[in-house]
């Protein structure tokens, strides 16, 4: 075990990427710099790098996600890894195998990189303790989604030059959002001013102590913002449990051009996808000139290449 430690790069001294929590600003900047290079690679005709040649990457998705899974898959392949996708429907989890058993089974296949999405907060941490390879959290319940926060940061940095000093509003279902948690940590650490805007029923308890400004009125919250990040509202939360209806939610918390006009004129709009048009965002804004939503998808592949590369540098040369 100690031998592995000596392998770790000082630029990114982490064996896993389980969350944004624990990453220092230099580590984040290092990943963003690597990702900038990955963007260049991805824009060439020849998109292959060899840094993961011979390595095996398993994408283990206990929760369906076309977008994130394909993004990780492409990232791995562009770095030369052998990538295998395992989704819950084809795994033995349905047959009653526990998470630990699944981990042990996978571990025996000797992967180098394991990308995990799970519906339960903390599941990825548990798995990381039981396997010998590097683990990337691709979203664990409402806890963290570090590569999303990193790709958001990359997108912002490429447009605004820096994260420090920006005012960023995160809007919508903060309570249930792993994207919100990872972004709050990352943006605060990088010196941005973070606001959250949501109906009170969609704010997690303790939000006032999370180092963010809290708003329940969207126009008020958007005043002077540089970045507006919208969150997806899950369908089961739209009909009375947390908010009364889609039309009421859109009226008070959906981003349309009228509400967006309260932010800075050059404010940029982001959304982790998949979008509910007419629920949290109007089609006009989603497809408008201030929207970075498509670009976020491109940055997603780049940041995942950066994360895989950084972790691979810390892998032992042999098992």
Partner 1 sequence: MYKNVNPLVLTNARIIDPANNVDEAGAVIVQDGTILAAGAEALNQGAPDGAKTVDCHGAVVAPGLIDMGVSVGEPGAEHRETLESASRAAAVGGVTTILTSPNTDPVIDDPALVDFMLRRARDTAIVNVHPMAALTKGLAGKDMSEIGLLKEAGAIAFSNDRLPITNSSVLVRLLTYARDFDALVVHQAQDKDLAGSGVMNAGLRASWLGLGGIPREAEFVAIERDMRLVAMAKGKYHARLISCPQSAEAIQKAKNDGLNVTAGISINHLTLNENDIGPYRTFHKMSPPLRTEDDRQAMVKALADGTIDIIMSDHNPQDVETKRHPFAEAEYGALGLETMLGAGMRLVLNEDISLSKLLATMTCNPADRLGLPAGRLSKGAPADLIVFDPQKPWIVEKDKIRSRSKNTPFEDETLTGRVLTTIVAGGILDHDAI
Q: Which is nearer to partner 1, 221 or 273 (CB)?
A: 221
Closest CA to 177 of 207, 156, 211: 207
Task: Determine if residue 145 is labeled as part of a ligand binding site.
Answer: yes
Q: Which is nearer to partner 1, 67 or 247 (CB)?
A: 247
Please tell me which residue in 67, 110, 119, 294 is annotated as part of the active site: 67
Q: Which is nearer to partner 1, 178 or 253 (CB)?
A: 253
Instruction: Give the contacts of 259 (CB within 8 A, at least 6 positions apart).
Output: 218, 219, 222
Tokens of 280: 């949290």
Question: Rounded distance, CA 315 to CA 319, Å?
Answer: 9
Positions in the binding site for partner 1 (CB under 8 A)? 199-201, 216-217, 239-245, 247-248, 251-252
Question: Rounded distance, CA 27 to CA 25, Å?
Answer: 5
Q: b vs e for 270-299, b when ≥16 Cβ sit within 10 Å of the residue's Cβ?
A: bbbbeebeebbbbeebbeeebbbbebbbbb
Catalytic status, residue 155: no
In the complex, the smallest distance separating the C-beta of residue 223 from partner 1, rounded to whole angstroms, is 17
Task: Determine if residue 193 is labeled as part of a ligand binding site.
Answer: no
Residue 196 CB-density burial (10 A; 0-12 exposed, 13-18 middle, 19+ buried): buried
In the complex, the smallest distance separating the C-beta of residue 251 from partner 1, rounded to whole angstroms, is 7
In the complex, the smallest distance separating the C-beta of residue 200 from partner 1, rounded to whole angstroms, is 5
Please tell me which residue in 145, 175, 253, 304 is annotated as part of the active site: 145
Q: Are 146 and 170 in contact (CB under 8 A)?
A: no
Q: Which is nearer to partner 1, 199 or 300 (CB)?
A: 199
Question: Rounded distance, CA 253 to CA 133, Å?
Answer: 42
The SS3 call for residue 171 is strand
In the complex, the smallest distance separating the C-beta of residue 249 from partner 1, rounded to whole angstroms, is 9
Catalytic status, residue 67: yes
Task: Determine if residue 148 is labeled as part of a ligand binding site.
Answer: yes
| Residue-level length of the chain | 319
- With tokens 């800075």, the residue in question is 264
Task: Determine if residue 232 is labeled as part of a ligand binding site.
Answer: yes
Q: Which is nearer to partner 1, 73 or 280 (CB)?
A: 280
In the complex, the smallest distance separating the C-beta of residue 205 from partner 1, rounded to whole angstroms, is 9
Please tell me which residue in 3, 95, 98, 319 is annotated as part of the active site: 95
In the complex, the smallest distance separating the C-beta of residue 245 from partner 1, rounded to whole angstroms, is 5
Task: Determine if residue 117 is labeled as part of a ligand binding site.
Answer: yes
Please tell me which residue in 16, 27, 55, 117 is annotated as part of the active site: 117
Catalytic status, residue 90: no
Task: Determine if residue 68 is labeled as part of a ligand binding site.
Answer: yes
Task: Determine if residue 274 is labeled as part of a ligand binding site.
Answer: yes
Task: Calculate the alpha carbon distances from 83 to 72, 74, 77, 78, 281 in Å.
Answer: 9, 9, 7, 10, 35
Catalytic status, residue 117: yes
Residue 252 CB-density burial (10 A; 0-12 exposed, 13-18 middle, 19+ buried): middle
Please tell me which residue in 27, 55, 68, 143 is annotated as part of the active site: 68
Q: Which is nearer to partner 1, 135 or 197 (CB)?
A: 197
Q: Are 304 and 3 in contact (CB under 8 A)?
A: no
Which residues are the active-site residues? 67-68, 95, 117, 145
Residues annotated as binding site for L-aspartate? 95, 178, 232
Residues annotated as binding site for carbamoyl phosphate? 67-68, 117, 145, 148, 273-274
């Amino acid at each position: 075990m100690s031998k592995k430690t000596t392998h770790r790069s000082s630029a990114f001294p982490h064996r896993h990427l389980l969350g944004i929590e624990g990453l220092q600003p230099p580590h984040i900047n290092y990943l963003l710099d690597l990702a900038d290079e990955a963007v260049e690679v991805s824009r060439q005709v020849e998109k292959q790098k060899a840094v993961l040649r011979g390595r095996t990457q398993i994408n283990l998705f206990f929760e369906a996600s076309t977008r994130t899974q394909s993004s990780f898959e492409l990232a791995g392949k562009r770095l030369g890894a052998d990538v295998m996708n395992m989704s819950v429907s084809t795994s033995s989890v349905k047959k009653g195998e526990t998470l630990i058993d699944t981990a042990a089974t996978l571990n025996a296949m000797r992967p180098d990189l394991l990308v995990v999405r799970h519906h339960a907060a903390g599941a990825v941490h548990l798995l990381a303790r039981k396997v010998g390879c590097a683990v990337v959290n691709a979203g664990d319940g409402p806890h963290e989604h570090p590569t999303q926060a990193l790709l958001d940061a990359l997108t912002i940095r490429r447009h605004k030059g820096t994260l420090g000093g920006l005012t960023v509003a995160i809007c919508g279902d903060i309570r249930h959002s792993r994207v919100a948690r990872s972004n709050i940590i990352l943006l605060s650490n990088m010196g941005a001013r973070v606001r959250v805007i949501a109906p009170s029923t969609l704010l997690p308890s303790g939000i006032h102590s999370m180092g963010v400004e809290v708003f329940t009125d969207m126009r008020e919250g958007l005043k002077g913002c540089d970045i507006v990040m919208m969150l997806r509202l899950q369908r089961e939360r739209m009909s009375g449990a947390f908010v009364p209806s889609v039309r009421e939610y859109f009226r008070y918390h959906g981003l349309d051009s009228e509400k967006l006009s309260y932010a800075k004129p050059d404010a940029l709009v982001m959304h982790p996808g998949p979008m509910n048009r007419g629920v949290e965002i109007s089609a006009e804004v989603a497809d408008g000139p201030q929207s970075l939503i498509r670009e976020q998808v491109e940055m997603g592949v780049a940041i995942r290449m950066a994360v895989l590369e950084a972790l691979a540098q810390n892998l032992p040369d042999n098992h």
